[in-house]
Amino acid sequence: MRRTEVVAFVPGHLADIDPPVLDPGQMQRFAAAYQPTGPAFTLVEEGRALGCAGLVLNGREGRAWAFLSDILRQRPSLLHRTVSRALPALIQHYELEWVTAEAHRDFAAARRWLERLGFRFAGLAPRFEGTTETYARYCLWVDCQSSLQ
């Protein structure tokens, strides 16, 4: 059996994800923007980063982010089990009222997974974060938290 563990996120973990999710310049910008603003973790298996995720905290809101390897995407039960255990604990610990997350409009599997975690579709975000892409925004309110368990 392979040993998996959750460890504290460090920006270097992003370089270990296969396929690469960011070029070096993007990784530096991401790390500068996200790491100091909330909790972040990496799922590691046999010393290899399978995925990184965290929350950007802004008052009572948490904004979820994640970068996943192809290996982790092929193991949806491991991914879902890990997140569905961690998210309610983070919501409680940081006394969050809601959490938002975005998935590319055309990435149906990611959108279904957010819904399975208890998130509800909140609308489309054209030109998301300065890109030319449209993303779907999802929200999870604390009163919906019971659906995570």
Give per-residue pLDDT as tens, 82-120: 999 999 999 999 999 999 999 999 999 999 999 999 999
Interval 31-85: pLDDT, tens: 666 656 889 999 999 989 999 999 999 999 999 999 899 999 999 999 999 999 9
Of residues 128 and 114, more confidently modeled? 114
- 89 vs 20, 26, 48, 142, CA distance in Å? 29, 30, 25, 11
* Range with lowest mean pLDDT among 26-30, 98-102, 105-109, 129-133: 26-30
Q: Provide the pLDDT for residue 149.
A: 36
Amino acid, res. 145: Q
Residue 26 structural domain: 4-148
The count of structural domains within the chain is 1
Residue 9 contacts residue 40 (beta carbons within 8 Å) = yes
Task: Indicate which CATH number applies to the domain containing 74.
Answer: 3.40.630.30
